[in-house]
Amino acid sequence: MNARRILCAVAALVVAAGIASCALFHVEPVAAIDISPVVVYAAEAIVLDGSASHGSASIVSYTWEIAGQAVASGREATIEIPDPGRYSVQLRVEDAEGRTATADREIEVYLRSGTEIFREDFSDGDAALARWALDPTWASATDGTVEYIASVRGHALLIRSAKSRWHRRYTELAIPPLRTGQRIVFTCRIMTLQNQSEHTFFFAPARAAIDSVAGSLPYFLFTSEGGDSWVREPTLYGSEVGHPIPFLPDVYRWHTYTLAFGLDSYELLIDDQSCFSGPWSGESLDHTTWLLVLGDESLDEACIAYYDDIRVTIEE
């Protein structure tokens, strides 16, 4: 009797060991993603590689999705993403026994340095005004016109607002991700048409909203009442930190204003000369659509100024 019990116990152990060994040999599949090159640029070849995916049964199917849309199949696929941005990459694999697994990666797609992402030269005259929305808070639409300047053989936006109101025009701008070492550079030529008494104008490369400076990028402001030229740094809470710049714009002369932003610092240049630089720790540059704003935002001073040759580029 005791021998029989021992034999039954041994048999049970053998069966259990067999079941365990079977379980070890039937491992659920695992999906694994490898992407090359390491730095990915828009409209250039990207290799998606699922070779590291594995399981106890052979992998028979590989399906690739970008931002939720199927883009390729196969263990290795070469694709292009036309636009910069942040994208989710998913690989779904299936093994010979019908079991599936997924893996996810997020990639940043950059633009090559030297790429121009925005340009406005007002060359199509009044039609350009349709691309620059008017902030109606204080402005009159007739304060802004596109004029042909014979001396430079081109069009420019002329803004003329009285002391009793400001005139702001803006257009939307999407900022792509920046890789380490890149900067996004905003450039605008401005020419004032009156003396500096009671005169103001500004160039704001990227604001989060038209009715608040909160969370916006630093901008350039000239105001005779406020002590000439300034770099203004908006905070996340709507206040500003001002940095005075020793620069007085000449009347009837074009000056080129450039604001360049890296991942953690920025710089103001006027006529290609560095005037101010400082650390930058605000919102992620590519977190949303920004507003590029120009004009006058002082009710104490007037503005008569031309704006032209506005460019936004990606540079080293």
Q: What is the pLDDT of residues 260-316, one digit of tens each?
A: 999 889 999 999 999 999 998 765 677 678 999 999 999 899 999 999 999 999 999
Torsion (CA) 267, 287, 240, 220 in degrees, nearest 10: 40
pLDDT of residue 140: 85
d(CA 130, CA 146): 11
d(CA 161, CA 297): 9
Average pLDDT over residues 195-203: 91
Average pLDDT over residues 69-74: 96
Give the residue among 115, 105, 126 at the shortest CA–CA distance from 83: 115
pLDDT of residue 312: 98
Highest CATH level, class, for 28-110: mainly beta
The least confident of 29-43, 49-63, 231-245 is 231-245
pLDDT of residue 25: 58
The least confident of 12-16, 36-40, 285-289, 302-306 is 12-16
d(CA 20, CA 94): 23
d(CA 282, CA 159): 30
The least confident of 96-110, 229-243, 270-284 is 270-284
| Arch. (CATH architecture) of 116-315 | Sandwich (2.60)
Residue partners of 203: CB distance under 8 A and separation at least 6: 186, 188, 190, 219, 220, 257, 259, 294, 307
- Place 10 in a pLDDT band, splitting at 50, 70 and 90: very low
Residue 14 has pLDDT above 70, yes or no: no
The pTM of this model reads 0.87
Residue-averaged pLDDT of the chain? 90
pLDDT of residue 243: 95
Q: Which residue has the higher pLDDT, 10 or 103?
A: 103
The least confident of 164-173, 179-188, 276-285 is 276-285
Ordered by start, the domain boundaries in the chain are 28-110, 116-315
Beta bridge partners of residue 188, listed in sequence order: 257
